[in-house]
């Protein structure tokens, strides 16, 4: 004589009660009530997305044995990476960067399926992933991120995962902590069965930055802290905008005074000796130019002397060239930017300079320099 299981008896009573309720509803002309849809979870959405991406792209069977959503800091990320991983940096919206890491088994499954049309179970050589491995996995990573964005819609905590794509891969995972911004990360850790009938069990870790202002939930295994009075939140200080205007005003600039340029023959050039005089046109005394190191003319000037040194006095472009007594712009007490603005730009700046290489010639530029030009010593 067998004894009935009380649990099975209880479940049978419950089943009959539900059937009676459904029949009563049908008798009243109503439709049978459909079961409520389970709310989406990060684990279910991640498992669906990675399986759908592999099937849509390669018809590769991928089954998620487990999916573990989590929250971690940038310092904890290297500890979560599998051994000898293929680490891929992901470009997100704006300047956000994320990361995804595939273990060697997962990389081998994707490479074998594309190269051989099947996944094998043979052993793997212990080596670091190569650039070729990264390129063969790039399409799968992008497809997975696209499907994950659609599946995670409405899932709490994973609202800001859209817009990430393959950017580059790292030969060594150590620089990853330097590339990513130090902010909280949302993570999904996958344990996968890839391929059929032969298969490989692989691991994939996805880590994406948490949106600014969103707080991460504590880990379930975290030890609760002792209760303490909570201080009111301190408002964050306003960001300080650092301007480079003041340092740029103090940046040194090298300018050159050019009296004239003259063509000479090779014989004359070879005949130049120390102490030998070279005839220059008289106009060079009143039509000297002030130029940058690459030959850009900043202003015209008059050659003279100041404080016992050769000097250039910036000229007023509206003054007559023939009038030696015309007013000139003394550079004493006048900033270089103001002096150049008052002196204007010569009309021949648009013409090529035959004495300099074409690549070195450039047009006039408004250089906001702040140092005072006293004398040009030379």
Closest by alpha carbon to 98, among 107, 86, 109, 89?
89
What is the sign, positive or negative, of the torsion defined by CA atoms of 254, 258, 262, 265? negative
Closest by alpha carbon to 42, among 150, 160, 210, 188?
188
CB 204 within 8 Å of CB 190: yes
> Looking at residues 121-149, what average pLDDT do you find?
91
Helices (H) and strands (E) in the chain, counts: 9, 11
Q: What does the domain layout of the chain look like in residue ranges?
A: 42-209, 250-260+281-350+361-378
Q: Is 15 helix (H, G, I), strand (E, B) or coil?
A: helix
pLDDT digits (tens, 9 = 90+) for 262-275: 888 888 888 888 88
Residue 207's beta-bridge partner residues? 99, 187
> Looking at residues 243-254, what average pLDDT do you find?
74
Can you tell me the distance from the alpha carbon of 36 to that of 41, in angstroms, rounded to the nearest whole number? 15
Determine the Cα angle at 184 with ends 241 and 148, to 5°. 115
CB 173 within 8 Å of CB 78: yes
Can you tell me the distance from the alpha carbon of 147 to that of 370, in angstroms, rounded to the nearest whole number? 56
- E-strand ranges in the chain read 62-72, 86-91, 97-102, 165-170, 185-194, 200-209, 255-258, 288-292, 297-306, 309-315, 328-329
> Position of tokens 């009959």?
16
CB 59 within 8 Å of CB 113: no
Of residues 191 and 294, the one with the higher pLDDT is 191
pLDDT digits (tens, 9 = 90+) for 69-123: 988 888 899 889 989 999 999 999 888 899 999 999 999 999 999 988 899 988 8
Question: What is the structure's pLDDT at 235?
Answer: 62
Q: How confident is the model at residue 220 (pLDDT cuts 50, 70, 90)?
A: very low
In this predicted structure, the answer to whether residue 341 has a pLDDT above a threshold of 70 is no
Can you tell me the distance from the alpha carbon of 86 to that of 135, in angstroms, rounded to the nearest whole number? 11
What's the whole-number average pLDDT of the chain? 75
Classify burial at 144, counting beta carbons within 10 Å of its beta carbon; exposed 0-12, middle 13-18, buried 19 or more.
buried
Question: What is the structure's pLDDT at 213?
Answer: 54
Phi, psi of 185 (to 5 degrees): -125, 140
pTM of the model: 0.49
In this predicted structure, the answer to whether residue 151 has a pLDDT above a threshold of 80 is yes
Question: What is the structure's pLDDT at 204?
Answer: 94
Can you tell me the distance from the alpha carbon of 374 to that of 311, in angstroms, rounded to the nearest whole number? 9
CB 221 within 8 Å of CB 265: no
Can you tell me the distance from the alpha carbon of 167 to that of 249, in angstroms, rounded to the nearest whole number? 38
Can you tell me the distance from the alpha carbon of 292 to that of 253, in angstroms, rounded to the nearest whole number? 8
CB 321 within 8 Å of CB 285: no
Question: What is the structure's pLDDT at 27?
Answer: 61
Can you tell me the distance from the alpha carbon of 204 to that of 189, in angstroms, rounded to the nearest whole number? 6
Question: What is the structure's pLDDT at 36?
Answer: 61
Q: How confident is the model at residue 32 (pLDDT cuts 50, 70, 90)?
A: low
Can you tell me the distance from the alpha carbon of 187 to that of 168, in angstroms, rounded to the nearest whole number? 19
Superfamily of chain region 42-209: CheC-like (3.40.1550.10)
Can you tell me the distance from the alpha carbon of 273 to that of 300, in angstroms, rounded to the nearest whole number? 30
Question: What is the structure's pLDDT at 271?
Answer: 85
> Looking at residues 345-353, what average pLDDT do you find?
50
């Amino acid at each position: 004589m067998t004894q009935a299981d009380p649990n099975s008896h209880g479940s049978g009573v419950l089943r009959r009660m539900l059937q009676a309720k459904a029949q009563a509803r049908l008798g009243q002309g109503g439709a049978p009530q459909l079961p409520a849809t389970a709310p989406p979870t990060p684990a279910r959405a991640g498992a669906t997305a990675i399986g759908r991406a592999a099937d849509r792209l390669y018809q590769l069977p991928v089954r998620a044995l487990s999916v573990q959503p989590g929250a971690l800091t940038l310092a904890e990320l290297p500890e979560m990476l599998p051994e000898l991983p293929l680490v891929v940096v992901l470009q997100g919206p704006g300047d956000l960067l994320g990361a995804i890491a595939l273990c060697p088994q997962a990389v081998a499954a994707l490479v074998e399926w594309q190269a051989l049309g099947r996944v094998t179970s043979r052993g793997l050589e212990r080596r670091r992933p190569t650039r070729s491995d990264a390129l063969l996995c790039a399409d799968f990573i992008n497809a997975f991120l696209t499907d994950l964005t659609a599946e995670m819609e409405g899932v709490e905590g994973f609202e800001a995962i859209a817009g990430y794509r393959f950017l580059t891969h790292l030969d060594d995972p150590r620089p990853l902590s330097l590339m990513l911004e130090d902010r909280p990360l949302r993570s999904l850790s996958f344990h996968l069965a890839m391929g059929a009938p032969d298969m490989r069990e692989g691991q994939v870790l996805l880590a994406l930055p948490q949106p600014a202002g969103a707080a991460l939930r504590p880990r379930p295994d975290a030890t609760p802290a002792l209760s303490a009075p909570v201080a009111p939140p301190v408002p964050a200080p306003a960001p300080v905008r650092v301007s480079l205007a003041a340092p740029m005003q103090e940046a040194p600039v090298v300018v050159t005074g050019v009296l004239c340029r003259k063509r000479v023959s090779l014989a004359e050039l070879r005949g130049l000796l120390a102490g030998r005089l070279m005839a220059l046109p008289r106009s060079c005394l009143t039509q000297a130019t002030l130029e940058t190191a690459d030959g850009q003319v900043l202003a015209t000037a008059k050659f003279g002397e100041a404080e016992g040194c050769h000097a250039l006095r910036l000229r007023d472009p509206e003054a007559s060239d023939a009038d030696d007594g015309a007013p000139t712009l003394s550079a004493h007490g006048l900033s270089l930017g103001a002096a150049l603005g008052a002196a204007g730009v010569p009309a021949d700046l648009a013409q090529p300079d035959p004495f300099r290489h074409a690549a070195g010639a450039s047009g006039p530029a408004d250089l906001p320099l702040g140092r005072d030009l006293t004398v040009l010593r030379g």
